[in-house]
Amino acid sequence: MKQFFFIITVILFSGFGFAQAQNDSLFHLIKIINGDVVAFTVDNLDNIYILNSRNQVKKLNEQGDSVAVFNDVKKFGQATLIDVSNPLKILLFYKDFSTIVILDRFLAIRNIIDLRQQNILQVKAIGQSYDNKIWLYDEVENKLKKIDDDGTVLLETPDFRLLFGEAPNPQKIFDQDKYVYLYDSSQAVFVFDYFGTLKNKILITGWKDFKVAGKYIFGSKADTLYRYEISSFRLDEWKMPEELRGVRSFNFTTDRLFSLKGDELKIYTFR
């Protein structure tokens, strides 16, 4: 096992360059999908992955047509996270069983990782890495780790409790453009390079539906949608139109907004 070369030299606390709040005319409804939807996510090709009340995972293409279904659900229980960062390699995470199921683009099982066999016993957040490995945050050891498809630990940071006054407790992990983003909604977005060096700390807190996509970070809070441009620190805000208030969840791609309200999944374009 190789340990990250971890050096904290400079921590940048990003400021925000606020943009004027945008109006709701920027949102244009293009499609409505009705059905049994408990949770959903979208990939960078605008495919939609729906988790229903029977714990099935259905894949819909950008037109809303069903193209694949994952039915092997009894063995694993309730899925707690679906990572579709790579549309060719889907990750289903079952927190209660500390198990990651790897699916191909047709939602057929490629592999199953039992994290307990690696003595990784408590994990809340996972995410795909740029090289098709898997990032996870080990809550017992307070370490960010990278594993391969067999569950072998390839890289790990030192214990964050030795490096921070309060170790992050990330709910989300994203790997984007040579950086790893750990989002702790109560503290900040912690940005690391691939060697484990803390490069930035973005003071975003309290956002729901957090997502890093392309050059942006997206999220929502109360009656406002946010888009933060990573390179320029620009923060765009949109007050939600009435039809977007009270939704169960949002998701984002660089030019689309997805909202789930009741059993109705709505797709909008925005700019």
C-beta separation of 174 from 217 below 8 A: no
Report the pLDDT averaged over residues 116-145: 95
Question: pLDDT for 71-101, tens place per residue?
Answer: 876 678 788 999 999 999 999 999 999 999 9
Report the pLDDT averaged over residues 38-56: 93
Chain length of the chain: 271
pLDDT at 60: 96
Question: pLDDT for 241-255, tens place per residue?
Answer: 898 999 999 999 988
CATH number of the domain where residue 233 is located: 2.120.10.30
User: Mean pLDDT for the chain?
Assistant: 89
Q: For the purposes of burial, counting CB atoms within 10 Å of the CB of 144, is it exposed (0-12), middle (13-18) or buried (19 or more)?
A: buried
Report the pLDDT averaged over residues 219-227: 96
Cα 144 from Cα 161, distance rounded (Å): 12
Phi, psi of 250, deg, nearest 5: -120, 160
Q: How many CB atoms lie within 10 A of CB 172?
A: 23
Provide the number of structural domains found in the chain: 1
Provide the Cα torsion 236, 270, 43, 175; round to 10°.
Answer: -20
- Say whether pLDDT at 24 is over 60: no
DSSP classification of residue 240? P
For residue 241 the two structure tokens come to 């139109």
C-beta separation of 225 from 240 below 8 A: yes
- Say whether pLDDT at 5 is over 50: no
Half-sphere exposure of 68 (CA within 13 A, CB side): 18
Q: Which domain holds residue 242?
A: 2-269
- Say whether pLDDT at 147 is over 70: yes
Band the pLDDT of 11: cuts 50, 70, 90. very low
